[in-house]
Amino acid sequence: MKLESLKELYIEELRDIYSAEKQITKALPKMAKAASSPDLQAAFKEHLEQTKVHVERLEQIFEQLGTSPKGKTCKAMEGLVEEGSELMEEDAEPEVLDAGLIAAAQRVEHYEIAAYGTVRTYAELLKEKKAVGLLQETLDEEGETDKKLTELATSLVNLEAAAR
Ligand code: FE
Ligand code: FE
């Protein structure tokens, strides 16, 4: 399909992040299961609930645009999820695995932060005010999650792994 306008690119990018979020809702329960630290398990579970809301916000935006969120596969997220799966298959000390899970999750968050920053800006340019608000809310939550993962990594998981 030929992209003729910023609006079309905006919709394509929204479909990409929609696919990414759907993939994350499937990956996060597995990551929570694989984590040993109760704090990390809780963080993954909390972000799963947030992620379900991220999907709903995107669906609201698509409804307003009068078009379907489906039709695109986020290949970048497929790759990130695949790397996470490979990690979970490794024979690893629990604390070391936790550190690796945090690293994998932060890659996902940074991808999302980049993607949401872009679509939020496109929505501003296109004067899609309601979408700007919804996308900004999600962007803020991705940022908070990233910060929380950094705190978990430094305060607990990486230190425990280093002590082995
Ligand atoms: Fe998200
Ligand atoms: Fe996220």
For residue 11, what are the domain limits? 6-162
Residue 53 lies in a domain: yes
The residue type found at 92 is: A
Residue 46 lies in a domain: yes
* Pairwise CA distance, residues 98 & 9, whole Å: 37
Look at residue 97 in the predicted model and tell me its pLDDT.
94
Give me the CATH number covering residue 69.
1.20.1260.10
Look at residue 41 in the predicted model and tell me its pLDDT.
97
Q: 147: CA distance to ligand 1 center in Å?
A: 14
Q: 164: CA distance to ligand 2 center in Å?
A: 30
pLDDT of the chain, 164 residues: tens digit per residue: 688 999 999 999 999 999 999 999 999 999 999 999 999 999 999 999 999 999 999 999 999 999 999 999 999 999 999 999 999 999 999 989 999 999 999 999 999 999 999 999 999 999 999 999 999 999 999 999 999 999 999 876 566 666 66
pTM, to two decimals? 0.93
Ligand closest to the CA atom of residue 119: 1
Number of domains the chain is built from: 1
* Pairwise CA distance, residues 7 & 17, whole Å: 15
Q: 146: CA distance to ligand 2 center in Å?
A: 8
Tokens of 82: 């695949």
- Give the number of other Cβ atoms within 10 Å of residue 87's Cβ: 16
Residue 81 lies in a domain: yes
Q: What are the backbone dihedrals phi and psi of residue 92, each rounded to the nearest 5 degrees, phi first?
A: -135, 150
Q: 102: CA distance to ligand 1 center in Å?
A: 15
Residue 66 lies in a domain: yes
Q: 132: CA distance to ligand 2 center in Å?
A: 18
Q: 113: CA distance to ligand 1 center in Å?
A: 8
Q: 162: CA distance to ligand 1 center in Å?
A: 30
* Pairwise CA distance, residues 158 & 164, whole Å: 10
DSSP 5: S
| Torsion angle in degrees (nearest 10) through CA of 59, 65, 67, 69 | -30
Q: 134: CA distance to ligand 1 center in Å?
A: 12
Residue 1 lies in a domain: no
Closest CA to 146 of 117, 104, 115, 118: 104
